[in-house]
Amino acid sequence: MKKIDIKDLGKFKLVGGLDVYRRKVAFTVSEISIEKDDYFSKIYVYDSRKVVQFTSGPKDSNPRFSPDGKFMAFTSKRHKESKEAELYLIPTTGGEARLLTKFKFGINDYEFSPDGKTLAVITPVEIERKKKKDDVHIIKEIPFWFNGIGWIYGKRNHIYLVDVESGKKRKLTRGNLNVQTLKWSKDGSKIYFVAQEDRGKKPMISDLFVVDLKSKKVEKLTDSKWRIGDLVPLEDGTFILRTNTLERGIPTNTHIYHFNPETKEVKKLTAKLDRSAYNSLNCDVRGPSRNPLVYKDGWVYYIATDGPRANLFRVNLDGEIERVIGGDRSVETFGIGEYIAFITQDATTPTELYILRDGKERKVTDFNAWIREYKLSKPEHFKVKASDGVEIDAWIMKPVDFEEGKKYPAVLEIHGGPKTAYGYSFMHEFHVLTAKGFVVIFSNPRGSDGYGEDFADIREHYGERDYQDIMEVVDEALRRFDFIDSERIGVTGGSYGGFMTNWIVGHTNRFKAAVTQRSISNWTSFFGTTDIGYYFAPDQIGGDPWNNTEGYWEKSPLKYAPNVETPLLIIHSMEDYRCWLPEALQFFTALKYLGKTVELAIFPGENHDLSRKGKPKHRVKRLELIVGWMEKFL
């Protein structure tokens, strides 16, 4: 059998973005073209009997069925010369797609009205217009940019109504509101939506609003205390909300609530399951998908991260919770018609479409059949009892051609977040390393999602219990698996994992090579330069750089640069607005100034999502750099 290679990245088919009407399922299949250095996508339809390609592409996605099932809307970019996002409509019986309209700054989301005659579209809008030829940025607010988008100052997301027959559009919301998601009322006279009222001063707060389509009057229904992510309006005038109450700041789990706007009564439906109501598992080969919230027959269906797995759950209004789709895997998205359609993956199987009907599950696509020709290392789970008695989930993956009695180098992988998780999802990077002869070690230390709020809450304690957990995982792996060469262990991670890699090399010399990616090296500079810095750093580190100057410096890996002895490769993207380029530059400069072994790789035109959504050739180059660095020093 074959070994997986870096350039096999181009073979993955990324299945995602589904919608369901009765027995029909529309979904998107994306391809990664290394040769053309781009991504391409088409829409497919499963009609309960067979799967057929429905659109020709090259960049069709986000399908939505009309309420009567006669039409499908989708977004695309079919005109190469146009930079605008295009919205199309096509009969579900087939035929030519008709361009409805275009939006200059993209389409974030959209929904059909109950009668199918109107589409409500969320799109970025300039609320302060710049002169066309003026290339000077006059900035009056924070945040001024956002990762993967670019400049956002002077813009807000607003709702437009698009006539399905004529394609004419009219603006519905205005002003400072920043709309995030929407749902129509059953009679089509109102639209309920979630929006930020003041993203500069209250960046973590979003509220539930309603707008009357005749009067255009907007009313706020909640009290600016929560971060609301999604909603489902019920027939009795109450709502199902996916909400984070922020009681413990960012580590607070997002739960499902029942909300009565008249009485302001709020009930946490998922109180019996201390887990986040979304999928937070890491994966580098997944397709774009919505995170649905579906109410059907008295049950609310939602995805939650439960340890190293993301499963489909349902909860009723009495708070009774059931696991609908379980297993050691990652449920990416789902839809409900006459059966449940869902997209899932696991550690050795990339994304595919499945259906659940009458309690029986069936796989209906096989776009990634090529993977069965490859010999893959399956993650082996082990528990680590930390020094304070808490159990930590950890895994190793043996080299593909593993031989008993032989010693192997190992690479410790650290996930980002920190409130995400590793688990039963496909990581191409891990399989590349095992194919190259490395053992891969990974874990979910304190700070990770999926294990409850107490476990996730490391605010003001970065580099303490989380660092201990990671080092104790390495100790336990060496004790259990004698084929790991303790003198040849490397470490790598991105975002929070990059911060932790920087922290590790400043606090121990036990690793012989390190690769830090999209990292944080200085919390003070992070506070003032990144899209989320001004609220993420105060939440995670405590206070701000003026009232906690010492704390910000104590938790900054830059402080410990003189201690670094591990050869370090720094990988960073030029347009990473989550952890901006200076985080890499200052750490590289410090280490070079101090005479350390360090190199810096900067990727132009890329952002914080280089490893997941970057240009295919850059993704290949990144993996080549990581493997090359580990091979050189291990």
Count how many Cα atoms sit within 13 Å of the Cα of residue 482 in the half-sphere of its side chain. 3
Rounded Cα gap, residues 219 and 208, in angstroms:
9
Catalytic site residue 608?
yes
Tokens of 13: 């088919």
- The H or E element spanning position 587 is helix 582-593
Contact call for residues 306 and 317 (beta carbons, < 8 A): no
Query: Which ranges in 426-569 belong to alpha helices (H)?
Result: 428-435, 453-456, 465-480, 496-505, 523-529, 533-537, 549-554
Tokens, residue 483: 């084929």
Strands (E), 201-339: 207-212, 218-220, 227-233, 239-244, 255-259, 266-268, 294-296, 299-306, 309-316, 321-325, 330-336
Q: Report the C-alpha gap between 611 and 282 in whole angstroms.
A: 11
Name the catalytic one among 66, 495, 519, 521. 495
Answer for the pair 207, 220: CB distance below 8 angstroms, yes or no: yes
Q: Cα torsion at 572, 379, 624, 478 (round to 10°)? A: 80
Residues 6+ apart with CB under 8 A from 230: 181, 194, 241, 242, 291, 293
**Which residue is it, tokens 């299945």?**
15
Q: For residue 627, give every residue at least 6 positions away whose Cβ sits within 8 Å of its Cβ, in sequence order, or none.
A: 6, 432, 433, 436
From the DSSP assignment, how many helices (H) and strands (E) are in the chain?
10, 38
Catalytic residue among 158, 415, 431, 608: 608
Q: Is 41 a catalytic residue?
A: no
Q: Which residues are catalytic?
A: 495, 608
